[in-house]
């Protein structure tokens, strides 16, 4: 597996190629730990007539199902037992998914993972901030209250909206509390970096790289470039014989 790193300034800089090896056992252990300590927990609760025979314990925890009655069939449809199903879903962070890709020898996952753990300021994970969502909901509640008091909104409509906003705020607070002990993926960046060894490969200047891009007409047709390079390499190999 390979990783390319830009070194220096745009003008006069270099692109360094590294040959990457990693400690598979340790990386697998980190991934498994992150699944439970860094995943976003989403509580699920619903009624159903079907129960799963199997569920992925790395994605579902605290599962329970309780028979609550019978759902009577209409016409020729049979009566079915009805269950209340409840569990916590683990939504894995991007870093966990990228580690899984690396363990499956996917080079794109490797490049994205190393970009994140080595340059976190420029490669932040896209994660929903529920404290911001809570603030927005509370501001919305104040706006509806003000509009209702000033007669800009009917009392019935205002009360309906306030009830919906109240439920939303309660759900957000429950979600925040459920995830209070969860860690940020950045907590593991250092130990992830320690799993990788960088073997020094070739280096090319940015000027030479730009010349090569222009030579193959990359900006005109990205897909065509690969075909051109493959064709030229096959011609070179034939002439070497």
Q: Residue 32: is its pLDDT beyond 90?
A: yes
Question: What are residue 40's phi and psi, to 5 degrees?
Answer: -80, 130
DSSP per residue, 36-76: HHHSEEEEEEEEES---S---TTTEEEEEEEEEEEEPPPTT
- pLDDT averaged over the chain? 88
How large is the average pLDDT for residues 138-143?
Answer: 94
* pLDDT bracket for residue 221 (50, 70, 90): low
With both helix axes pointing from N to C terminus, report the angle between 130-149 and 155-178 in degrees, rounded to the nearest 10: 160
**Burial tier of 10 (Cβ tally within 10 Å: 0-12, 13-18, 19+):** exposed
Question: What are residue 112's phi and psi, to 5 degrees?
Answer: -65, -40
Q: Residue 229: is its pLDDT beyond 70?
A: no
How large is the average pLDDT for residues 137-164?
Answer: 93
Is pLDDT larger for residue 225 or for residue 45?
45
Q: Lowest mean pLDDT: which of 35-39, 161-165, 193-197, 230-234?
A: 230-234
């Amino acid at each position: 597996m390979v990783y390319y790193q830009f070194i220096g300034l745009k003008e006069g800089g270099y692109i360094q190629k590294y040959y990457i090896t990693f400690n598979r056992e340790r990386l697998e252990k980190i991934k498994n730990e992150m699944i439970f300590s860094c995943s976003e927990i989403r509580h699920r609760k619903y009624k159903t007539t079907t129960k799963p025979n199997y569920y992925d314990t790395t994605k579902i925890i605290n599962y329970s199902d309780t028979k609550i009655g019978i759902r009577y069939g209409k016409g020729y449809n049979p009566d079915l037992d009805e269950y209340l199903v409840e569990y916590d879903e683990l939504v894995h962070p991007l870093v966990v998914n990228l580690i899984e890709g690396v363990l499956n020898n996917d080079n794109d996952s490797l490049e994205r993972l190393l970009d994140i753990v080595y340059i976190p300021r420029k490669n932040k994970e896209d994660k929903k901030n529920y404290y911001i969502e809570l603030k927005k909901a509370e501001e919305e509640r104040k706006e509806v209250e003000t509009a209702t008091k000033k007669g800009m909104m009917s009392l019935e409509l205002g009360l309906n909206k306030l009830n919906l906003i109240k439920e939303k705020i309660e759900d957000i607070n429950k979600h925040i509390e459920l995830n209070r002990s969860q860690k940020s993926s950045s907590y593991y960046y250092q130990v992830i970096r320690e799993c990788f060894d960088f073997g020094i490969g070739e280096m090319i200047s940015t000027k030479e790289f730009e010349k090569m891009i222009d030579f193959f007409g990359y900006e005109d047709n990205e897909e065509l470039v690969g075909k051109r390079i493959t064709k030229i390499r096959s011609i070179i190999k034939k002439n070497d014989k």
